[in-house]
């Protein structure tokens, strides 16, 4: 039974990826932006909803409108390959991508269509230019960034990198922190598993995966703020929601200090 369930979900998901991926690429050539969002961006929104359904996900978010209206950066914890899909089920979003992505067939055109921000990080000079490019980019739809920099272990948050907060401070860009919490967490916490192994385990499980998106107050960094302190504080705030047993104690220690 597990094999049938996993095979069905993966097959359905693959077909949906082909269908929606084709639509995203095709619509990326159309200069149409309903509600100031590219047509390709809307296609990713509908794609995310159907993909989340096909993989047995149920998304819970009481403040969807706040995400949809936000102009700036959206910072979220990163534990799974599904994080992007989960966020885009609420509203079309954009992401920061390497300039090399543009050279990748299909994916590059799709990323361009949803108006990702492409940066060159090959050397120090280009990194400074990338910082200016990101902070100068349009802030709607919101640009999603994972300040951990990579997928976490599923047990606690990785340290938040200061660079993301320096970016926000450089342009005084509002940050909307979003905590992504999965139930059960083991369904998506793949650790060192690859996409194939983790995807099979997710697709073949019996229970639905419930995902709760919790929004924290918007933070707008000022020139006098310390990016390292902002990173530490936001990590504790998000961590207290996602991994309360661990990060609540960290927060109490920080308050005492």
Residue 244 CB partners (closer than 8 Å, separation 6+): none
DSSP codes, 198-232: HHHHHHH-SSPEEEEEEE---B---TTS-HHHHHH
Higher pLDDT pick, 227 / 254: 227
pLDDT digits (tens, 9 = 90+) for 69-109: 999 999 999 988 889 999 999 999 999 888 888 888 888 99
Reported as a pLDDT band with limits 50, 70 and 90, residue 134 is: confident
At residue 154, the 3 state secondary structure works out as coil
DSSP codes, 2-48: HHHHHHHHHHHHHHHHHHHHHHHHHHTT----GGGS-HHHHHHHHHH
3-state helix, strand, coil in the chain (%, to 5): 50, 15, 35
Domain membership flag for residue 256: no
Q: What tokens does 133 get?
A: 């490019």
How high is the pLDDT of residue 202? 83
How big is the CA angle at 246 (ends 241 and 249), to the nearest 5 degrees?
95
Question: Residue 233 and residue 21: Cα distance in Å, rounded?
Answer: 38
Domain membership flag for residue 158: yes
Domain membership flag for residue 75: yes
Domain membership flag for residue 227: yes
Query: What does pLDDT average to over the chain?
Result: 87
H or E stretch at 64: helix 64-69
Higher pLDDT pick, 75 / 202: 75
Distances (CA, A) of 22 to 18, 27, 87, 113, 168: 6, 9, 21, 12, 34
pLDDT digits (tens, 9 = 90+) for 142-157: 999 999 988 777 778 9
pLDDT digits (tens, 9 = 90+) for 6-39: 889 999 999 999 999 999 999 999 999 999 999 9
Q: Is the pLDDT of residue 253 over 60?
A: no
- Scan for tokens 């149409």, then name that residue: 32
The radius of gyration of the chain's CA atoms, rounded to the nearest angstrom, is 18
* 128 half-sphere exposure, CB direction, 13 A CA radius: 2
Alpha helix segments (H runs only) across 82-179 = 83-88, 107-113, 124-136, 162-171
Q: Is the pLDDT of residue 176 over 80?
A: yes
Question: Residue 55 and residue 32: Cα distance in Å, rounded?
Answer: 30
Number of domains in the chain: 1
Domain membership flag for residue 257: no
Domain membership flag for residue 99: yes
Question: Is the Cα dihedral 232, 235, 240, 245 positive or negative?
Answer: negative
Domain membership flag for residue 255: no
From the number of C-beta atoms within 10 Å of its C-beta (0-12, 13-18, 19+), residue 4 rates as exposed
Q: Is the pLDDT of residue 255 over 80?
A: no
Average pLDDT score over residue span 208-234:
94
Range of the domain at 191: 2-248
Higher pLDDT pick, 139 / 15: 15
How high is the pLDDT of residue 249? 55
Q: Is the pLDDT of residue 257 over 50?
A: no
Domain membership flag for residue 160: yes
Reported as a pLDDT band with limits 50, 70 and 90, residue 52 is: very high
């Amino acid at each position: 039974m597990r094999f049938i369930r996993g095979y069905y979900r993966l097959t359905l998901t693959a077909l949906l990826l082909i269908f929606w991926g084709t639509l995203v690429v095709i619509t990326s050539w159309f200069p149409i932006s309903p509600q100031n969002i590219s047509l390709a961006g809307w296609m990713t929104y509908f794609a995310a909803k159907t993909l989340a359904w096909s993989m047995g996900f149920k998304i819970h978010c009481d403040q969807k409108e706040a995400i949809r209206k936000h102009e700036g950066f959206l910072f979220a914890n990163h534990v799974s390959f599904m994080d992007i899909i989960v966020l885009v089920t609420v509203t079309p979003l954009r992401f920061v991508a390497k300039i090399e992505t543009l050279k990748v067939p299909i994916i590059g055109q799709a990323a361009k269509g949803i108006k990702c921000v492409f940066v060159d990080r090959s050397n120090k000079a280009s990194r400074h230019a990338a910082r200016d490019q990101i902070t100068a980019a349009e802030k709607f739809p919101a640009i999603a960034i994972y300040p951990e920099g990579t997928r976490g272990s599923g047990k606690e948050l990785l340290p938040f990198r200061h660079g993301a907060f320096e970016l926000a401070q450089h342009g005084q860009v509002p940050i909307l922190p979003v905590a992504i919490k999965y139930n059960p967490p083991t369904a998506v916490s793949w650790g060192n598993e690859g996409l194939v192994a983790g995807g099979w385990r997710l697709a073949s499980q019996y229970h639905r995966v419930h995902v709760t998106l919790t929004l924290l107050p918007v933070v707008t960094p000022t020139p006098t703020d310390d990016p390292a302190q902002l990173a530490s504080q936001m990590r504790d705030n998000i961590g207290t929601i996602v991994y309360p047993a661990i990060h609540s104690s960290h927060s109490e220690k920080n308050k005492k200090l």
